[in-house]
Amino acid sequence: MNRTQQRSWSWHLAPPPEQVWPILADTARMNEAGRLLPKHVIEDVLQPDGRVVHLARGSLGPLALEWEDRPYEWVKDRSYRHLRIFRRGPLRRFGQICTLRQAGDGTVMDFTLQVEAKGILGALFFRLVALEIGGSAILRLIKRAETFVAGDRETPYDYAPPALPQGAAERVAILVAAIGAGAYGHGLAQRLGTHLLTAQEVDLTHMRPLKLARDWDEEPRLVVELFFEAARQGLLKLSWDLLCPRCRGAKRSVATLDQLPREAHCSSCNITFDAEFARNVELSFQPSPAIRPIGIGEYCLNGPYATPHVVVQQILDLGETRSVAARLPPGPYRLRTLEPGEQIDIEHDGGDFPTIVVGSGPDGTPSVAVAAPAGDGKIRIVNRATRDFGIVIESREWVRDALTAHRATTMQAFRDLLPGHALRPDEDIAIDNVTLMFTDLKGSTALYERIGDGPAYRLVRDHFAFLAGVVRRHDGTLVKTIGDAVMAAFSDPADAVAAALDVQHEVLDFNARAGEEAITIKLGLHGGPCIAVTMNDRLDYFGSIVNTAARLQGESRGGDIVLSESLARDAAVATLLAGRAARSELAPLKGLAQPVAFRRLFAVPPAAQSRESGEGMIAG
Whether residue 205 lies inside any domain: the answer is yes
296 and 316 co-located in one domain: no
Look up the CATH number of the domain holding residue 527.
Answer: 3.30.70.1230
Most confident of the ranges 50-64, 554-568, 580-594: 554-568
Q: If you average pLDDT over residues 61-77, what whole number do you get?
A: 92
Q: What is the pLDDT of residues 501-512, one digit of tens each?
A: 999 999 999 998
Residue 415 domain-assigned?
no
> Do 441 and 567 share a domain, yes or no?
yes
For residue 612, what pLDDT band results from cuts at 50, 70 and 90?
A: very low
Which pLDDT does position 1 carry in this prediction?
A: 45
Q: Is residue 406 part of a domain?
A: no
Give domain status of residue 416, yes or no. no
Per-residue pLDDT at 316 exceeds 90: yes
Cβ proximity of 535 and 541 under 8 Å: no
Q: What is the mean pLDDT of the segment spanning 236-256?
A: 85
Lowest pLDDT segment from 95-104, 200-209, 293-302, 432-441: 293-302
Residue 131 lies in a domain: yes
Residue 398 has pLDDT above 80, yes or no: no
**410 lies in some domain:** no
What percentage of the chain reaches a pLDDT higher than 90?
55
- How much is the average pLDDT of 251-258? 84
Same domain (yes/no): 428, 362? no
Interatomic CA distance for residues 391 and 303, integer angstroms: 15
**286 and 320, same domain (yes or no):** no
Between 335 and 34, the higher pLDDT residue:
335
Domain co-membership, 451 together with 385: no
User: Is 160 among the domain residues?
Assistant: no
Residue 339 lies in a domain: yes
Answer yes or no: do 320 and 283 share one domain: no
What's the pLDDT at 132?
A: 64
In this prediction, residue 177 carries a pLDDT of 97
Predicted local confidence at residue 125, as pLDDT: 67
173 and 252 both lie in a single domain: yes
Q: In this structure, are 348 and 296 located in the same domain?
A: no
Q: What is the CATH number of the domain that holds 60?
A: 3.30.530.20
What is the number of other CB atoms lying within 10 angstroms of the CB of residue 560? 22
Instruction: Single out the residue in 116, 149, 182 at which a domain terminates.
Output: 149
Asked whether residue 576 falls in the same domain as residue 445, the answer is: yes
What residue numbers bound the domain in which 494 lies? 422-619
- What's residue 198's pLDDT? 94
* Averaged pLDDT for residues 370-397: 91
The pLDDT of residue 590 is above 70: yes
For residues 391-408, give the mean pLDDT. 85
249: confidence class by pLDDT, cuts 50, 70, 90 = confident
Whether 369 and 475 map to the same domain: the answer is no
- Does residue 126 sit in the same domain as residue 184? no
Residue 610 has pLDDT above 60, yes or no: no
pLDDT of 606 > 70? The answer is no
Task: Write down which residue in 268, 284, 301 finishes a domain.
Answer: 301
Bigger pLDDT: 561 vs 424: 561
Work out how many domains the chain is built from and give that number.
4
* Strands of the 281-287 sheet, one edge to the other: 250-254, 236-243, 281-287
Domain boundary among 301, 325, 349: 301
Give the span between the Cα atoms of 15 and 146, in whole angstroms: 7
Q: What is the pTM of this model?
A: 0.84
What confidence score (pLDDT) does residue 609 get?
36
Please report the beta strands in 15-173, taking only residues with DSSP state E, as ranges in sequence order: 41-46, 52-60, 63-69, 73-75, 79-88, 91-103, 106-117
The CA distance from 461 to 500, in Å, is 19
Q: What's the mean pLDDT in 441-469? A: 90
Residue 129: per-residue pLDDT: 62
When pLDDT is cut at 50, 70 and 90, the band that residue 429 belongs to is confident
Would you tell me the crossing angle of helices 168-181 and 189-198 to the nearest 10 degrees?
160
pLDDT for 248: 78
The mean pLDDT of the chain is 88
Residue 117's alpha-carbon distances to 88, 130, 134, in angstroms, are 11, 11, 16
> Based on the domain organization, do 499 and 589 belong to the same domain?
yes
